[in-house]
């Protein structure tokens, strides 16, 4: 996969996570994910369409999702209810929105589908497009950014 | 403060967050809509002093909603509040009649600055 496609999502993840959580994120090692894999406990899934297409997934553990929702809502979150899910989905939405801005500046016009929250481990298939995974330590647990994108021929 | 503000966003979190921010700045008369169509209906029914409007929403998107509101209420004040900050989208929103464009994520003071600018 062209790194031009993942870099905007990495940059956007860092700037949005830092602004929302008020902690400087730390980058982990980039790995290649097979096109079928077992997800984390809480996942925000986006489809990307346009000049670059595929999927982007933000995965995290249950406790990390609760901690991030607690910060975002500025009140203790003990249960992953609709409001907590909405906060986690919006975090992904802000990151993807920001990444689309970077992609647009690089000459790739794209759009994203509304986020889908997958809560509970599941088999995820990114279809014929192996993904790159970047673990990001947020200070409240790791968020795994999985990007499986390809350019339109 | 007796100014009426309509928050339009499809995400429960963002409506919760914006309401909390507005309340912290003394704006207690806050209405909510979860898509553009609801925003147009709420605007006609309640004539709010200001609208905070997301762009990507189901049923009717924010830019279409701004056009529909401005068609019936040319003096309507709408601030776009979106994660989609591409230049073309900002231009489209301003051309539709939006007064300002706030890119998410934002600091509460950015909301205060824009809201107080248009509510005086």
- Dmax (CA) for chain B in angstroms is 35
Determine the average pLDDT of the residues in B33-61.
Answer: 96
Hey, what are A82's tokens?
């609709």
Q: Which residue of B has its CA nearest to A15?
A: B105
CA A10/CA A147 separation, integer angstroms:
9
- Radius of gyration of the CA atoms of chain A, in A: 14
Give residue-wise pLDDT tens across range A94-106. 999 999 999 998 9
A141: left (phi over 0), alpha (psi -120 to 50) or beta: left
- Per-residue pLDDT, B1: 60
Which among B65, B49, B68 is positioned nearest to B57, based on CA atoms? B65
Contact A150, A53 (CB under 8 A): yes
Determine the average pLDDT of the residues in A29-48.
Answer: 86
More confident residue, A126 or A151: A151
H or E, element range at A139: none
- Per-residue pLDDT, A72: 97
Burial degree of A32 (CB within 10 A; 0-12, 13-18, 19+): exposed
What CATH number is attached to the domain comprising A36? Answer: 3.40.1550.10
Hey, what are A53's tokens?
């297409």
- Dmax (CA) for chain A in angstroms is 47
Q: Which domain holds residue A32?
A: 3-151
The count of domains in chain A is 1
- Per-residue pLDDT, A129: 72
When pLDDT is cut at 50, 70 and 90, the band that residue A126 belongs to is low
Whether residue B96 has pLDDT greater than 90: yes
When pLDDT is cut at 50, 70 and 90, the band that residue B74 belongs to is very high
For residue A48, what are the CA distances in angstroms to A3, A99, A137, A149? 16, 11, 24, 8
A51 at B interface, C-beta within 8 A: no
- Mean pLDDT: which of A52-56, A114-118, B64-68, B81-85 is highest? B64-68
Share of chain B above pLDDT 90, in %: 90
Contact A100, A93 (CB under 8 A): no
Contact residues, chain A, for B84 at CB < 8 Å:
97, 100-101
Q: Which residue of A has its CA nearest to B86?
A: A101
Phi, psi for A32 (deg, rounded to 5)? -95, 135
Among B17, B58, B84, beta carbon nearest to A97: B84
């Amino acid at each position: 996969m062209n790194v031009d496609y993942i870099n905007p999502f990495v940059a956007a993840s860092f700037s949005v996570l830092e602004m929302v959580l008020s902690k400087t994120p730390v980058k982990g090692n980039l790995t290649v994910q097979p096109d079928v894999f077992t997800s984390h406990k809480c996942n925000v899934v986006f489809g990307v369409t346009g000049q670059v297409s595929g999927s982007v997934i933000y995965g995290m553990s249950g406790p990390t999702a609760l901690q991030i929702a607690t910060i975002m809502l500025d009140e203790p979150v003990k249960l992953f209810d609709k409001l907590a899910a909405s906060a986690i989905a919006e975090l992904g939405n802000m990151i993807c929105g920001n990444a689309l801005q970077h992609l647009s500046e690089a000459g790739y016009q794209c759009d994203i589908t509304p986020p889908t929250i997958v809560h509970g481990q599941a088999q995820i298939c990114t279809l014929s497009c192996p993904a790159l995974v970047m673990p990001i330590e947020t200070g409240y647990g790791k968020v795994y950014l999985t990007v499986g994108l390809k350019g339109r021929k | 403060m007796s100014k009426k503000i309509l928050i339009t966003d499809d995400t429960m979190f963002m409506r919760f967050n914006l309401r909390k921010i507005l309340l912290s700045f003394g704006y207690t008369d806050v209405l909510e809509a979860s898509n553009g169509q609801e925003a147009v209906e709420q605007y006609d029914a309640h004539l709010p002093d200001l609208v905070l409007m997301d762009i990507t929403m189901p049923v009717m998107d924010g830019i279409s909603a701004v056009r529909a509101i401005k068609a019936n209420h040319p003096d309507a004040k709408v601030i776009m509040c979106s994660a989609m900050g591409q230049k073309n989208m900002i231009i489209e929103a301003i051309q539709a009649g939006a007064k300002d464009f706030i890119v998410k994520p934002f600091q509460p003071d950015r909301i205060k600055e824009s809201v107080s600018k248009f509510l005086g």
